[in-house]
A = this chain, B = another copy of it.
Amino acid sequence: MNIKTPSQVIFYSIERAIKEYRKLAQKKISDKIDNITVDQGNILLFLHHYPELSQKEIAELIFKDNASMTRMIDLMVKKGYLARSVNNNDRRRHTIDITTKGKEVLKKLPPIISQNRSKALEGITEDEMNQLEHILNKIIMNCTK
């Protein structure tokens, strides 16, 4: 396969970068909190800031499928981090509440996440981050339009 053109390599790099970051993030979270995945942590954080979110809305925010979201929330309910009840304004929707156990996790999460980001972005300038953001947005637009 000799020398690869940038376009051949670029998606490998994107994929690898996010996978390595997730691996790091999961490791650091597991070191300090039992039984929580990166995605479960994200769900807690979003629900904390926007308590009214429906499953569908959370799914969009963290780029998951509705079916995945049902199962993730199921699991988090089973583990005692969340409680699910029918929303009386719209009985199709569910209201998701964070339990005391979920709130305990929420206390520990932010510093870990911010350390993970710092580590992963070490030596990268604000300017580079903006470039990265800008180019990735182009790719996202190209793929979704």
Contact = CB atoms under 8 A, between A and B. Distances in A.
Interface string A62-79: 010000000000000000
Contact of A142 (B15, B122, B140, B144): B122
A14 B16 contact: no
B10 A133 contact: yes
B143 A120 contact: yes
Specify how many copies of this chain sit in the oligomer: 2
Given A121-B142, A143-B120, A18 B7 contact: no
A57 to B, nearest CB: 14
Interface in A126-145: 126, 128-133, 135-140, 142-144
A50 to B, nearest CB: 8
Given A16-B63, A18-B18, A63-B19, A10 B143 contact: no
B117 A139 contact: no
Which 5 pairs between the two chains have the least Cβ-Cβ distance? A20-B143, A6-B129, A13-B136, A17-B136, A24-B143
Given A17-B140, A124-B138, 14 more contacts: A6-B126, A11-B21, A13-B133, A13-B136, A14-B17, A14-B132, A17-B136, A18-B18, A119-B142, A120-B139, A120-B142, A121-B142, A131-B131, A132-B132
